[in-house]
Amino acid sequence: MFSKILIANRGEIACRIIRTVRRLGIASAAVYSDADRAAMHVALADEAFRIGPAPARASYLDGAKIIDAAQKSRAQAIHPGYGFLSESAEFAESCATAGVVFIGPPAAAIRAMGDKAQAKTLMEKAGVPLVPGYHGGDQDPALLSRKALALGYPVLIKPLAGGGGKGMKIVARAGDFADQLASAKREALSAFGDGRVLIEKYLSRTRHVEVQIFADSQQNCVHLFDRDCSIQRRHQKIIEEAPAPDISGELRLAMREAALSAARAIGYVGAGTMEFLLSPGAFFFLEMNTRLQVEHPVTEMITGIDLVEWQVHVATGGALPLRQEEIRSLGHAIEARLYAEDPPRDFLPQSGQIAHLDLPAQGAQLRIDAGVHAGDVIPDDYDPMIAKLVVWDKDRRGAIRCLRAALAETRVAGVATNLDFLRAIAAHQAFEAPPPDTGFIERHRDDLLVRRPPAGHDVLAVAVVGLLCERAAFGREKAQRSNDPWSPWNSQNGWRLNEHAQETLCLREILPGGCGDRHVEVNYLRDGWRIDLLGGTFFHASGTLAPDGTLAADLDDRRVNAVWVRSGEEILVFVGAEAAHRFLQAGPSAGAARRDEPAGRLTSPMPGRIAALLVAPGAKVEANQPVLVLEAMKMEHLLTAPRSGIVKEFKFQLGDHVAEGVELASFETRPPPDGAS
Catalytic residue positions, numbered:
291
Strands (E), 320-461: 332-339, 341-342, 348-349, 352-353, 356-358, 366-370, 377-378, 385-393, 411-413
Q: Beta-carbon neighbour count of residue 533 at 10 Å?
A: 16
Report the C-alpha gap between 351 and 372 in whole angstroms.
13
C-alpha gyration radius of the chain = 28
Report the C-alpha gap between 473 and 600 in whole angstroms.
44
Q: Beta-carbon neighbour count of residue 8 at 10 Å?
A: 30
Bridge partners (DSSP) listed for residue 609: 631, 657
Report the C-alpha gap between 55 and 607 in whole angstroms.
13
Contact of 556 with 529, CB cutoff 8 Å: no
SS (H, E, C) 204-268: CCCEEEEEEEEECCCCCEEEEEEEEEEEEECCEEEEEEECCCCCCHHHHHHHHHHHHHHHHHCCC
SS (H, E, C) 38-85: CCHHHHHCCEEEEEECCCHHHCCCCHHHHHHHHHHHCCCEEECCCCCC
Buried b (16+ CB within 10 A) or exposed e, 491-516: ebebeeeeeeeeeebebbbbbeeebe
Report the C-alpha gap between 248 and 255 in whole angstroms.
11
Contact of 364 with 328, CB cutoff 8 Å: no
Report the C-alpha gap between 486 and 219 in whole angstroms.
80
Bridge partners (DSSP) listed for residue 365: none
Contact of 315 with 373, CB cutoff 8 Å: no
Buried b (16+ CB within 10 A) or exposed e, 82-93: bbbbbbbbebbb
Report the C-alpha gap between 276 and 284 in whole angstroms.
5
Report the C-alpha gap between 609 and 632 in whole angstroms.
6
